[in-house]
Structure 1
Amino acid sequence: MKALNDLKIFIETARRHSLSAAARNMDITPAAASAALKRLENEVGALLFIRSTRNLRLTQQGEQFLNYCEQAVGLMTEACGAISEGQAEFQGVIKLSMPSDCGRNLLLGWIDEFMDLHPKLDVRIQLTDGLADMYTQPVDVALRYGEPSDSSLVALPIAGGNKRILCASPDYLSEYGYPDSPHELVKHNCLCFALGESLYNRWRFFNQGQEQILVVKGNRYANDGEAVRRWALAGKGIAYKSLLDVKDDLQQGRLLEIDIGRETEPAPLYLVCASRRVINPQIQALREFLAGKVKKHVSSL
């Protein structure tokens, strides 16, 4: 369906803020993507993007249209998949790996909602902060922060605008003070994440576009993101966590965001798989469902 494909190109372009990036992700040429957007704008009768040589952003009409498009494409993808499979609803198994903290406290609840909509689906979850080997482990897709280092993997955005934030409990900041500069941050007890033999104690920030790396120290580190979050809640130090992981804690005042005058590191959440052939209608519908949930979740902060 050309019209449905045009909507998908529009959504991907809006998410990536780049026509060329959307084209690469969808395995089409930039010219084909541009033609699709022009077709869509002609049909809608409104300008959807404001374009310049370096930037591309949605117009007000484009933002309104995007909300409807995401819902429509999700429903159409599910409908087409059900018809092509000769069934009224999704069946089969989705084997999914996800991070421990975000997985336990956020994603599992959303996946339960998705399964309530599709009761004939089975979902097998692997909760781990380790990087699942998509070629050897029994995993169809993985939800992971950051683009995969293996360029042969396919990464579809779930939360492209997510970022890391510095945070600590009110009790910790009351006792040890509020760091408002990189120099003061390195004097604090920093709670670090470890993966295998690698300790992630080199925290990345940006100052007017220039990367700055701070080597931090602390008396606690763990290979489990939820353990780091629990230490922060218990007042044991400062954590550098994904906003998705701590959004509820910030909203309830259990953690406070710390501003040291630097931009924080991006932490986009992707759905990753070994091949586009893995992305069947069930997985595509799950991706759209989770992307919609993330959008509502972060907008309420």
Structure 2
Amino acid sequence: MLRLEDLTLFVRASALNSFSETAREAGLQPAQVSTAIKRLEKILNVRLFARSTRSLRLTPEGENWLPYAIEALQALETGMEQIQPANDEVRGVLQIAVPSDLGRNIMLRVFQAFRHRHPALQLKILFSDQIADVFKDPVDIAFRYGINDDASFVALPLAPNNRRVIVASPGYLERFGEPKTIADLTHHNALTYLLKGRVFDKWTFTQDGNVHHVAVKGSMMSDDAEVIRRLAISGEGIAFKSWLDVSEDVAAGRLKVLLEQYQGDAVPLSLICPHRKQLSATVRLLHEAVKQRCDALLEGLPQ
């Protein structure tokens, strides 16, 4: 008889490409995961993984069966949600991936308030600027910046009008002066962000329908967006940041928006999940709570 735990371990092992990582995540020994996979293979009479001392990958049969295994687990989860008492429908564990800066400084308070309103819910929050793969990573939903044109997942808009702004601290501007045009940015220390080894040192702006690009340079860069924000606040240079990330700093006077006559490029924020079936009451309520917070922050976005 097929065991639910074995099915779950198979799906996680296919995502992590490692029995040891799957075991660590599940609190088991690697041998227990290996045994679970062998039980499945015996029942199905196929080999699900090609194993070697250095690698683990799905066989063609395993790849063909994976979507059915995922669908079966999702159907069970949906069924469990349906039989929960109506007065306590927000329960269980919700695994969330959220960008570093936005998550720590804006979203965390929303998550805390949401969990206090729903005490039967547990939140597992993963902070990272790496783009989460909602099909393979151990997350249920992800908050993602950028324009989403991938039809393979569901994207619920949160802040469609969010965009980047140029900011610097009053201390930095007092020492080095305030740029008056985007050309002046080339004479300032730019705090640049990097992702997967790529440095984002070409900033894009729009003015009166015309698109402008400027190549910047600086002495400090980071793959953590929160680090860039902290460096800007401490007066290390000028940053090009999502308005949502710096809105509270601007309101508090820690940062000042520069060159407001130019529009920074769009960075809409969305809630991502793999399938529409996963839009549970919990996810929809959390989406509503986060959207309310984003709407309030966007009211201060310079026009």
> TM-score scaled to structure 2, two decimals?
0.69
- Deviation string for 1:46-82 (max 9, x for gaps)? xxxxxxxxxxxxxxxxxxxxxxxxxxxxxxxxxxx98
Distance 1:256 1:170 in 2: 7
Shift in CA distance, 298/261, structure 1 to aligned 2, threshold 3 Å: closer
Distance 1:173 1:103 in 2: 28
Residues 168 and 232 in structure 2, CA contact (< 8 A), matched pair in contact too: yes
Q: Secondary structure at the residue paired with 2:204?
A: strand
Distance 2:151 2:82 in 1: 33
Distance 1:260 1:176 in 2: 19
Shift in CA distance, 198/276, structure 1 to aligned 2, threshold 3 Å: same
Deviation at 1:213, TM superposition (A): 1.8
Q: Secondary structure at the residue paired with 2:291?
A: helix
Greater shift, 202-211 or 89-98, is seen at 202-211
Q: Report matched runs for 1:182-193 at 5 Å.
A: 182-193=182-193
Distance 2:192 2:170 in 1: 19
Q: Which residue in 2 is equivalent to 1:124? A: 124
- Deviation string for 1:157-204 (max 9, x for gaps)? 111221111000111111111111111112211101111111111111
- Deviation string for 1:125-157 (max 9, x for gaps)? 000001011111101111111123644222111
Distance 1:278 1:188 in 2: 46
Q: Which residue in 1 is equivalent to 2:86? A: 87
Q: Which residue in 1 is equivalent to 2:67? A: none
Paired amino acid for 2:86? Q
Gaps of 5+ in 1: 1-80
Distance 1:267 1:83 in 2: 36
Shift in CA distance, 300/264, structure 1 to aligned 2, threshold 3 Å: closer
Say what the alpha-carbon RMSD is for the aligned residues: 1.9
Greater shift, 216-225 or 206-215, is seen at 206-215
Q: Which residue in 2 is equivalent to 1:181? A: 181
Paired amino acid for 1:128? S
Distance 1:272 1:147 in 2: 12
Distance 2:212 2:153 in 1: 28
Query: Is the aligned partner of 1:235 residue 2:221?
Result: no
Query: Is the aligned partner of 1:294 residue 2:294?
Result: yes
Paired amino acid for 1:163? R
Distance 2:222 2:182 in 1: 23
> TM-score scaled to structure 1, two decimals?
0.69
Residues 250 and 257 in structure 2, CA contact (< 8 A), matched pair in contact too: yes
Paired amino acid for 2:87? A
Q: Which residue in 2 is equivalent to 1:97? A: 97
Q: Report matched runs for 1:39-188 at 5 Å.
A: 85-89=84-88, 90-148=90-148, 150-188=150-188
Indicate the percent of aligned positions where both proteins have the same amino acid: 35
Q: Secondary structure at the residue paired with 1:135?
A: coil
Residues 167 and 239 in structure 1, CA contact (< 8 A), matched pair in contact too: yes
Query: Is the aligned partner of 1:268 residue 2:268?
Result: yes
Q: Secondary structure at the residue paired with 2:155?
A: strand
Q: Which residue in 2 is equivalent to 1:285? A: 285
Paired amino acid for 1:243? W
Distance 2:82 2:299 in 1: 34
Distance 1:219 1:300 in 2: 30
Q: Secondary structure at the residue paired with 1:88?
A: helix
Residues 93 and 122 in structure 1, CA contact (< 8 A), matched pair in contact too: yes
Residues 98 and 144 in structure 1, CA contact (< 8 A), matched pair in contact too: yes
Highest Rg: 1 or 2? 2
Residues 247 and 300 in structure 2, CA contact (< 8 A), matched pair in contact too: no
Residues 189 and 238 in structure 2, CA contact (< 8 A), matched pair in contact too: yes
- Deviation string for 1:92-118 (max 9, x for gaps)? 111100011110011011110001111
Q: Secondary structure at the residue paired with 2:87?
A: coil
Distance 1:194 1:149 in 2: 22
Gaps of 5+ in 2: 1-79
Residues 182 and 259 in structure 2, CA contact (< 8 A), matched pair in contact too: no
Residues 193 and 225 in structure 2, CA contact (< 8 A), matched pair in contact too: yes
Distance 2:83 2:167 in 1: 48
Q: Which residue in 1 is equivalent to 2:250? A: 250
Q: Secondary structure at the residue paired with 2:86?
A: coil
- Deviation string for 1:19-44 (max 9, x for gaps)? xxxxxxxxxxxxxxxxxxxxxxxxxx
Q: Which residue in 1 is equivalent to 2:203? A: 203
Deviation at 1:260, TM superposition (A): 6.0
Deviation at 1:300, TM superposition (A): 5.9
